[in-house]
Amino acid sequence: MPDHAALYGLIGAVSGAALGAGAGVIGPILLHRRQAGERREQDIRAEQRQREQVQREENWRREQARREESWRQRQFRQVVNREKKIDREALIRRLTAIRASTRGYQDILTKHYQLLTSGTQVGIEDFENDLAVAHSELNSAFDEALVDGVWFAHARQASFLIPPSSSILPAVGGLRGQGIDTTVLVDALREAADLVRACVNGESPIPESLRGETEQALAEVEAARGELVVYIKGRVDGLSVE
C-alpha cells in the first residue's frame, strides 16, 4: 500500500510538472496568436480607412474638376453669346446704314428735282457736291456690308457709285453671305441721277418729256428701294430674335 501511494504521488508530481511546462509553452503561443490576429484586424481597418480616404480625395478631385469644367463652359457660353450679340449689333448697324444711305441718295435726287419743278434754280456744282456726299455714304455702307458678308448679288452693277480705290469690286468676288439682288435698284439710281442731272443742266422749265422720264425713274427708285427695305427689315427682325 505505501508503495502504491508513493507511485501515485510520483505520477501526480510528474503530471503536474508536465502540465506546468506545457502551460508555460502553450500560453505564450496562444497570446502571440491572439496579438497577431488583433494586429491583422487593425491593419485591415487601417487599410480600409486609407482606401476610404483615397476614395474621398478622388471624389473631391472629380467634383472639383466637374465644377471647374462647368465654370469654363459657362464662361465660354458667355463669351460666345457676347460675341454673337456684338456681331448681331454690328450687322444691324451695317444693314441700317445701307437703308439710310440709299434713302439719302434718293432724297438728294428728289430734292433737287422738286426744287427745279418749283421754279428754283439749281446750280450744277451744288447738285454734284450733294450727290458726291451721298455717293460717299452709299459707297461706305455697301463696302462694309460686302466685306462683312452681307452679300448684294450683282453688286458689280454698282460700279458707277464706286471710285477705283474702293474695295467693293474685289469684295464681291469671294463672299457667300445673306444676299439680295440690287441690280434693279442700282440701275434705277443711275438712270434717275442722269435724268436729274439733265434737268439741272437743261432749260427751264423742264420739258414735259424729260419731266415724265425723270418722274418715272424716281418712282422706279422708290419701288426698288422699297424691296431692299423689306429685305433689310426682315433680316433685322430675324437677328433681333436669335
Q: Give the pLDDT of residue 238.
A: 80
SS3 119: coil
More confident residue, 159 or 40: 40
Q: How many domains is the chain partitioned into structurally?
A: 1
**Contact (Cβ atoms closer than 8 angstroms) between residue 138 and residue 101:** yes
- Is residue 136 in some structural domain? yes
**Contact (Cβ atoms closer than 8 angstroms) between residue 162 and residue 169:** yes
Please give the C-alpha separations between residue 58 and each of 61, 63, 160, in angstroms, as whole numbers.
Answer: 5, 9, 71
159-203 residue pLDDT tens? 444 443 443 333 333 333 456 667 788 889 999 999 999 999 998
Residue type, 184: V
- Is residue 41 in some structural domain? no
CATH at 192: 1.20.120.230
- Is residue 20 in some structural domain? no
- Is residue 105 in some structural domain? yes
Q: Give the pLDDT of residue 161.
A: 43
Distance CA 190, CA 199 (A): 14
- Is residue 4 in some structural domain? no
- Is residue 230 in some structural domain? yes
* 108: its cell numbers: 438728294
- Host domain of residue 208: 88-240
- Is residue 49 in some structural domain? no
- Is residue 52 in some structural domain? no
β-strand pairing of 178-181 with 150-153 = parallel
81-126 residue pLDDT tens? 888 888 888 888 888 888 899 999 999 999 999 999 999 999 999 9
* DSSP classification of residue 85: H
